[in-house]
Each structure stands twice: as structure tokens, then as C-alpha cells.
Amino acid sequence: MADQNPGMVRKQAAAGISVDSAEKTMEEVGMEARQLYEKGYGLLEKKQIDYAIELFTSALDKEASFFECRMALRAAQIKKNESSSSIAKMAGAAANAHNMAQAKLALTRKNYFGAMSHAEKILCADPENSVGHRVLVDASKVLNFPQTLISSLQILKKANPNDKDLTKELATALEMLGDWDQAEEIMGKLAQVNPDDPALQQAYKDTAAKATIYRGSYEKTFEDDKNIDDQKTSASSVRTAEEALLERIYVMEERLQNEPDNFKLGVDIAKLYVELNDFERCFEYFDWVQNENKVSDSSIDKAIADAHEARYNHDIEQFPEGSPEREGFEIERDQFLLQDCRERADRYPTMPEIRFELGEWLFRVGEVNDAIQAFQRSQNSPKHRLASLNYLGRCFMQRGLYDMALSQFEKALGEKGVFDEQKKELVYNLACVYEHQGRPQEALHHFKSIYEVDIQFRDVVQKVEAGYSDGT
């Protein structure tokens, strides 16, 4: 296995097409860009901001669609600006005139990647520069980078909260991303403060109508899919799924014979074997990748951990609930995956998503102090910040440190807008803290705020009814 990939040893059956999204996650970008990002993030944590910016910029030059890296670069730009002297800011402003001209010129020539590169140079000197963010907005629309588009629009809107056109532009971008609830909320607020603007009122009605249609279509599609699934016989459904997977594996293994250094493809094949519950074949591929690929890769290590978890879960399902065998496998699984996650966190100390994952495992097994340390580090990641704050609050609650728990939940809610599932959980946990502190009126107030939007959330009905019966 060390000198040839598993696909060269056998063939299965035919075809699968992978379509990359416009913006890519860390798992989807190339190894070189990912390594530059990881090094840059580590330097950012050490406050070596200039060098971190240089590495983030290099990563984006290789993968302009790497949204997480772009947000890390934005965080570094802000930190640099906060610590810069007034003289340094003046010098940066002078240099920005050239970059702004180059960025606009690149846009007119339809060199959108070049325009984004110049825009980031503008933002290095002034992270809230309207020209830089407008260039990113215009380029992102063409390149179909909705998250980058929304990020810059939000910064522009923060500087110009009463700009109607910006608000409508942001709502349209949110629609592109499928965030209909927030799009409707933003347009509703704008319509509310501009009651005499008929065009704006109509725009809000259009957004609300489209949001309603979307939600209705989603629900109908879900029901239709469920009905179709119910009509299929179990045996034919399983055979069809297996045949489709085998067809994809065959084509990918054929491709791997011509691309023997394509380790990402080998990992993708291994993942398909996980879906087939063929763990022997799966780990053959992972062994080959680890033997041949001499460079550490966090995404590969994570894929291997996921495969081990899938194998444990498959074995666990073979035994009935409550049986000694099942409970034994569950304990073994949790211990194995926790240790694996510890090792990955040590191997990649600057990656916040692994710290967050480690925190979740530590919280799950009751190692609360270590979990607190992990979540304190992972909260520095924009992607994991709110979830980390929520977990920190829960950890402090378990320790009986209710004032500190309250601080975490309030901090997270201060950064949370739309009343989605995450916000419901934060509000619920906040209310529970008030209960523990003997503040029933404040607890009931927050339980009622959930009750008004989702009566089925956890035990909120019982909480509200108990509050009224106690005369709170």
C-alpha cells in the first residue's frame, strides 16, 4: 500500500461529479493556502500582526475564495489599525490613493481578483475604507462570493446606517445566501423608519412575499421528498444508493491512477467508503495517504477521526439500547475520539476549530476546567465565537459561577441579531442563570421572549406556565 494507491489495485463501477462552491472552506482550499492561513493565524495570536497580514494576503492570492482567511485578514487589519500611531495612519492614507486608483482600474478591466487584491491593500491602511469595501462588493457580485459581499456591505452599512440603497443591497445579498429571515427583518426595519417612502414599502413587501414563498416551497419540498422516500421499498433504495456510490468510486479511482499525488482525491474516495460502511477499504486509503503524503494536513487528520467515529457508531448500532455491549462501545468511542482530538490540538495549536471541537468533547465527558480553557481560545475565531461563548456560559453554570455565566451569555447575545435556534438557546440559558440566582421575574421575561416565537422550544411552555402560576 505504501507504493501504490488502493484504486490501482481494484476497480468498482462508474461516475460522480463534484461541483465546488464559489467560496471555499478551509477543507476545500489547497494545502499551500491552508498552511499559510494556519501560520498566519498563529502569528496573529502572538500579536505579530504585520507578518500575519503578509501570510493571509499570500493565502488569498492563491485562493481568493478562501472566506475564512479573508475574515482573519480583516481581524488583523483592524488590530493593526488600532495600534497604529497617527503618523502611520497618515502615511497609509497617502499610499491608499494609489491603491484606490489601481482597484478601480482593475474593476473597469474586469480583473476582479486583482481588484480584490488592491482592495485588501486599501483596508490594511484603513479597515473601514468605503472605497475598499465597495470594490470588494462589486467584485464579489461578479465572482459569486456572497459571504464576502455581505461582510463588506455590513461594514458599509455600519458607517451609513440610514443609507436606503445600502440596506436594500444588503437584503438582496442575504437573499442570495438564502438568509430570508434576516433579509426580511432588515427591510422591515428600514420600511418602519421610512413610512412615507412608497418604493421602499413596496420593496419590503416584495422581500416579505419572497421569504414566505421560499419558506413554503422548502416545507413543500421536504414533504414531497418524505412522501417519495416512504413510497420506495427499503431493499431497492439501499441497492440504488450503493450502486451510485460504487459508480462514483470507480471513476475517482480511475482518475487517481493518472494523478498518483492527488492525496485529496484519495481522502475523498475514503470518505465514500465510509458512506458504504466499508471501513476496511476506507482505512486502506487513509493509510496510503498518510504513508505517501509527508506534509501534515489538519483536514486529512479530521477526516480520519470522522471515519473512526463512523465505524464506532456503526458497531454501536448493532446492539440494543441499554445493553452492556453498547454502553461499552460508547465509552470506548468517547475515550478514543477525545484522545485523538487532544493529539490534533497539540499538532495544530493555532487552529481554533480544533480547540472548539476539543472543548465540546471535554464538556461532554465532564472535564469542565479543561473545556473552559479550550473555549477561551476558540472564541477568538469569528466562526466559533458565539458557540464558544455559549459553551463557556454552560461551563461556568456547572461550576456554580453564575455571574460569570451571565456575562458570557450577555456578551454573545450582544453580538447576535436574528432570533434563530442559536439565539433561542442563548436566551434560554440566560433565563436559567436568572433562575439559579433567584431572579424569577427576569427569568420569566426571557422565557416568554422564546415562547412568543417558538412555543415548542424545549420546556419553555412549562417554564412560562410555572412563572404565571407562581404569580411572578
* pTM tops 0.85, yes or no: no
- Residue 175 is assigned to a structural domain of this protein: no
- Residue 444 is assigned to a structural domain of this protein: yes
What pLDDT, on the 0 to 100 scale, is given for residue 335?
93
For residues 379-401, give the mean pLDDT: 93
What pLDDT, on the 0 to 100 scale, is given for residue 2?
41
What pLDDT, on the 0 to 100 scale, is given for residue 235?
45
Which residues constitute the domain of residue 415? 384-472
- Residue 434 is assigned to a structural domain of this protein: yes
- Residue 397 is assigned to a structural domain of this protein: yes
Q: Which residue has the higher pLDDT, 327 or 162?
A: 327
Cα–Cα nearest to 384, from 374, 398, 394: 374
Grid cell digits, residue 234: 427499503
Alpha carbon 250 to its chain centroid, in Å, reads 31
Residue 217 pLDDT exceeds 50: no
Measured CA to CA, the distance from residue 219 to residue 73 in angstroms comes to 38
What pLDDT, on the 0 to 100 scale, is given for residue 420?
86
Measured CA to CA, the distance from residue 307 to residue 301 in angstroms comes to 10
What pLDDT, on the 0 to 100 scale, is given for residue 87?
59
Grid cell digits, residue 83: 495600534
For residues 211-217, give the mean pLDDT: 55
Residue 331 pLDDT exceeds 60: yes
Q: Which residue has the higher pLDDT, 298 or 2?
A: 298
Grid cell digits, residue 279: 471501513
Q: What's the chain's Rg over C-alpha atoms? A: 26
Q: Grade residue 18 by pLDDT with cuts at 50, 70 and 90.
A: very low
Computed over every residue of the chain, the mean pLDDT equals: 82
Q: How many C-beta atoms surround the C-beta of residue 257 within 10 A?
A: 12
- Residue 297 is assigned to a structural domain of this protein: no
Cα–Cα nearest to 208, from 180, 248, 244: 180
Cα–Cα nearest to 423, from 410, 413, 434: 413
What pLDDT, on the 0 to 100 scale, is given for residue 467?
82
Q: Grade residue 59 by pLDDT with cuts at 50, 70 and 90.
A: very high
Residue 162 pLDDT exceeds 80: no
Phi-psi label, residue 366: left if phi above 0, alpha if psi -120 to 50, beta otherwise: left
Q: Which of 9-23, 161-175, 301-315 shows the lowest per-residue confidence on average (mean pLDDT)?
A: 9-23
Of all residues in the chain, what percent carry a pLDDT higher than 70?
Answer: 78
Measured CA to CA, the distance from residue 129 to residue 113 in angstroms comes to 19
- Residue 71 is assigned to a structural domain of this protein: no
CATH of residue 432's domain is 1.25.40.10
Measured CA to CA, the distance from residue 156 to residue 158 in angstroms comes to 5
For residues 418-439, give the mean pLDDT: 93
Residue 3 pLDDT exceeds 50: no
Phi-psi label, residue 270: left if phi above 0, alpha if psi -120 to 50, beta otherwise: alpha
What pLDDT, on the 0 to 100 scale, is given for residue 227?
53
For 118-134, what is each residue's pLDDT tens digit?
Answer: 999 999 988 989 999 99
- Residue 431 is assigned to a structural domain of this protein: yes
Phi-psi label, residue 10: left if phi above 0, alpha if psi -120 to 50, beta otherwise: beta
For 63-111, what is each residue's pLDDT tens digit?
Answer: 999 988 998 899 889 888 887 666 555 655 666 788 898 989 999 988 9
Half-sphere exposure of 275 (CA within 13 A, CB side): 15
Residue 228 pLDDT exceeds 60: no
What pLDDT, on the 0 to 100 scale, is given for residue 469?
77
For residues 16-36, give the mean pLDDT: 69
DSSP characters for 264-305?
Answer: HHHHHHHHHHHHTT-HHHHHHHHHHHHHH--S--HHHHHHHH
Check if the beta carbon of residue 93 is closer than 8 Å to that of residue 131. no
Residue 161 pLDDT exceeds 60: yes
For residues 319-330, give the mean pLDDT: 91
Q: Grade residue 220 by pLDDT with cuts at 50, 70 and 90.
A: very low
What pLDDT, on the 0 to 100 scale, is given for residue 179?
61
Indicate the burial class of 62 (C-beta count within 10 angstroms; 0-12, 13-18, 19 or more).
middle
Q: Grade residue 188 by pLDDT with cuts at 50, 70 and 90.
A: low
- Residue 469 is assigned to a structural domain of this protein: yes
Check if the beta carbon of residue 310 is closer than 8 Å to that of residue 275. no
What pLDDT, on the 0 to 100 scale, is given for residue 13?
30
What pLDDT, on the 0 to 100 scale, is given for residue 410?
95
What pLDDT, on the 0 to 100 scale, is given for residue 338?
95
Measured CA to CA, the distance from residue 345 to residue 338 in angstroms comes to 10
Between 402-414 and 385-398, two packed helices, what is the crossing angle to 10 degrees?
Answer: 160
How many domains are there within the chain? 1
